[in-house]
Structure 1
Amino acid sequence: MSKIELRNLWFSVHKWIGLLLAILIIPVSLSGSALVWHDWLDAQVNPGRYAVSGPAVLPPSRYVAAAQAVLAPGERIASLRYPEGGEGPVVVSAAPAKPGARERVNVYLDGASARVLDKVGSNDGVVRVLHRLHGTLMVPGMGRQIVGWIGVAMLVSSLTGLWLWWPLTGSVKRGFRWKRRPQLDANLHHQLGFWVCIPLAMLSLTGAWISFPAIFGQLSGARPPQRPAPAAPLTETVQRIDDVVRGAGGQAVAITWPTGKSPAWKLTLAQGEAEIADASGAVTTRPPRPETIARTMRRWHDGTGMGAVWQVVIFLGGIIPAVLAVTGVTMWVGTRRWRRRPARKLAPAE
């Protein structure tokens, strides 16, 4: 296969990926950009939820009592999470009253007074809608797999786009010229596509990894994460939560209640983890676990703990693909119009 034939093949692959998946790439990309700063966005949409009067200094039992006062009959407290960095509300999550249901109820509390700030379903609100749109396109069942294959297609598109951007002749500097084509959309497509191709390839690969953890877990040698079936928290516990936190011997970041399947308190500490048997009170502590490849991929994908520069790169890595999808479609439409134009007749020579 000659160089021109190979280029034409990659062009066809690149073109049809963009045309067939543009309607799906745009919502996935834009929702991913918005979720880079999901905590800030949630605070802007729901300011009352974050209207705290001070840091969380009360015993955990105070937060539990305040949350129980607003829970419906049958809803059981499943976890308590302190704010990251000490700023923000304490969040108490409760398992639903209906057995087997996954959606929980979140109660937001003022850390200084245990005052209830908000009560909302875990899948309700603008930010949760964006999470579901980005992760599953809001398609039940196969949504995550669909988004995973979109990630694979975008990875191929970014690599083929780099191939097509590379000038056929002359110096590579020719690729950076703004007016490579007469049309504005074509120049935007060429230039933006080059600068985003590497970040987009990374985001596409990590997105596919998140969607297909079992497949990529086998390739990397890591055990794929297991998502256990939901288990109802115990209605009555032997250990009191204040004693549990004191017995853990460290600053608690998150506390998970014992269940019928796992009758032990599980605590995430600032410097490790702890597990306390509810029946005996026996304490088992562990140092911080090393970060798994799956967790690293997720941090690269959403920018958690990666710094402001990386988050800006991810934000642009979501905005620009939407622009590329639109310009790709307009370029294709313009090409079809040009091909349908009748040939201009030449005037006879005088």
Structure 2
Amino acid sequence: MAFERPPSWRTMFRKVHLWLGIGLALLIVPITLTGLVLVFDDEIDEVLNPSLYATTGTAVARPADEYMQGASEAVGGRAAMLRWPDGEGRPVTVMVRLQPPPSAVERKLDGERGTNRSGRPEGQAGNRRPPSRLVYLDPPTGAVLGIKDFRNSLIGQVHVFHENLMVPEYSGRAIVGWTGVALLLLSLTGLVLWLPRNARLMRAFAWRRGPTMSINLHHLAGFWISIPLGLMALTGIVLAFPPQASAVLNALDTPQPPVRRTGADPLMPHPALTAERAIEIGKDAAEPETPRMLAAPSITTRAWRLEVEAPDGTRHSISIDDATGQATLERPPRRGDVIGTWMRRVHEGRSYGPIWATLAGLCGVLPTLLAITGVLMWLRKRRNKAALRGGTSALTNSRLMPAESA
């Protein structure tokens, strides 16, 4: 009795690479293309909305309270977060909550309405953030340059699609995460299959890996992008599964209670401290760091949160109690959280200079090329097999050679 020879490891890798690529191409291509847009989202947004970036200078000359008050009046809500310009000539931005006026919030706090099981006033259950608007302000004058509903803007919709395929209620984020797992496997198996069978390494870099342009493009483009693409896939997996990733990354660290953020909690109606005073207290506790973000206190935290940047580029946060004015440096993050932050910055593609931004951009566009050339190679292989079964002489045409023999 004759036994069939088991498939080689190379054959198994090829089948995994083939069916993951073809089976998930309709997910991988749009996810990576939207990632390309997000690498350069600021530049794209400036082209689409030039008025939002029409600043008259670079000096942040107005008090923080003036920026926040101007943004609140422009929208008719409550200023929740102030961000200083992230580059020369960039605007000041303020995120404004569209929520009931202070008197209504006060009535809720006074017991006119009860609280739900989450401890929030009725109507604020769950983690869903209240609607908000992003207000752009001129740094020297404080004038309002424009107002954006970020989640419903073009860039905002690209963000939503890239994060959860616009179907968060149907596990869209998890689908994106598992697509990242498939993309990581494609990168690793493709790198192994790139090596020639005869182990002549220099031949692997040659253009003539096959008789057609699609084969050559697939081999060379796939090799040069495999490691950056695998890194982008790995960091995307971490971002798609934050609780699980945090548990793994922090497995060897001492457990710490979570830090409570403003989140969806209503803002304090009448803080005792002004924004400018909170900044002064925070800067005194963190000299010589530069302020980057200020979050207003909520009815839960009852503390301002100031994020500052050290001269070496690292950032940390300071909590300023609204009642006492006491500044407390937030505990240093765990090693796993530091790694997670690094992974987020790698995935965003803009934090490590133009070279990495270019590589991140290629990770967005080249998977489309690889998907197209991979499908062409697969179709050519099917035609070859059909020709062999039919006993035709079609294989005399070099362009119908099996891709594996390249």
Same fold (TM over 0.5): yes
Picking from 218, 237, 240, the partner of 1:189 is 218
Which shows bigger deviation, 218-227 or 315-324?
Answer: 218-227
Q: 1:274 to 1:189 in 2, by over 3 A?
A: same
Deviations 1:305-336, CA, capped at 9 Å, x for gaps? 21111111111122111110111112222322
Q: Distance in 1 between matches of 2:303 and 2:331?
A: 18
Alignment correspondent of 1:18: 21
Alignment correspondent of 2:300: 261
SS of the residue 1:155 aligns to? helix
Q: Distance in 2 between matches of 1:220 and 1:46?
A: 39
The TM-score normalised by the length of structure 1 is 0.90
Deviations 1:65-108, CA, capped at 9 Å, x for gaps? 21122223xx3221111112453111111223275452421111
Alignment correspondent of 1:96: 98
Q: Distance in 2 between matches of 1:287 and 1:50?
A: 36
Work out the percentage of aligned pairs sharing the same amino acid.
Answer: 34
Gaps of 5+ in 2: 101-122, 311-315, 395-406
Gaps of 5+ in 1: none
Which shows bigger deviation, 219-228 or 333-342?
Answer: 219-228
Q: Distance in 2 between matches of 1:57 and 1:221?
A: 42
Q: Distance in 2 between matches of 1:293 and 1:2?
A: 45
Q: Does 1:140 align with 2:184?
A: no
Map 1:1-350; keep pairs closer than 5 Å. Answer: 5-54=8-57, 55-72=59-76, 75-97=77-99, 100=124, 101-102=128-129, 103-141=131-169, 142-221=171-250, 230-248=264-282, 249=284, 251-271=290-310, 272-285=316-329, 292-341=338-387, 342-344=390-392
Q: 1:3 to 1:178 in 2, by over 3 A?
A: farther
The TM-score normalised by the length of structure 2 is 0.78
Q: Distance in 1 between matches of 2:192 and 2:168?
A: 36
Q: Distance in 2 between matches of 1:205 and 1:192?
A: 19
Q: Distance in 2 between matches of 1:227 and 1:316?
A: 37
Which shows bigger deviation, 146-155 or 98-107?
Answer: 98-107
Name the aligned partner's letter for residue 280 of structure 1.
T
User: 1:273·1:288 contact (CA, 8 Å) conserved in 2?
Assistant: no
User: 2:214·2:373 contact (CA, 8 Å) conserved in 1?
Assistant: yes
Q: Distance in 2 between matches of 1:199 and 1:319?
A: 13
Name the aligned partner's letter for residue 127 of structure 1.
I
Q: Distance in 1 between matches of 2:5 and 2:36?
A: 39
SS of the residue 2:320 aligns to? strand
Name the aligned partner's letter for residue 344 of structure 1.
T
Q: 1:197 to 1:176 in 2, by over 3 A?
A: same
Using the TM superposition, give the Cα deviation of residue 217 of structure 1 relative to its aligned residue in structure 2, in angstroms.
2.3
SS of the residue 1:292 aligns to? helix
Deviations 1:20-43, CA, capped at 9 Å, x for gaps? 110111111111122222222221
Using the TM superposition, give the Cα deviation of residue 241 of structure 1 relative to its aligned residue in structure 2, in angstroms.
1.8
User: 2:69·2:79 contact (CA, 8 Å) conserved in 1?
Assistant: no
Which shows bigger deviation, 271-280 or 32-41?
Answer: 271-280
Alignment correspondent of 2:397: none
Which shows bigger deviation, 183-192 or 267-276?
Answer: 267-276
Name the aligned partner's letter for residue 219 of structure 1.
V
SS of the residue 1:276 aligns to? strand
Q: Distance in 2 between matches of 1:162 and 1:253?
A: 41
Q: Distance in 2 between matches of 1:108 and 1:90?
A: 6
Name the aligned partner's letter for residue 324 of structure 2.
S
Using the TM superposition, give the Cα deviation of residue 304 of structure 1 relative to its aligned residue in structure 2, in angstroms.
3.6
Q: Distance in 2 between matches of 1:14 and 1:262?
A: 49
Q: Distance in 2 between matches of 1:154 and 1:51?
A: 40
Name the aligned partner's letter for residue 83 of structure 2.
R
Q: Distance in 2 between matches of 1:42 and 1:33?
A: 14
Using the TM superposition, give the Cα deviation of residue 149 of structure 1 relative to its aligned residue in structure 2, in angstroms.
0.6
Q: Distance in 2 between matches of 1:2 and 1:257?
A: 68
Q: Distance in 2 between matches of 1:345 and 1:94?
A: 71
Q: Give aligned pairs, total.
A: 344
User: 2:207·2:216 contact (CA, 8 Å) conserved in 1?
Assistant: yes
Please report the RMSD computed on the Cα atoms of aligned residues, expressed in angstroms.
2.6
User: 2:72·2:96 contact (CA, 8 Å) conserved in 1?
Assistant: no
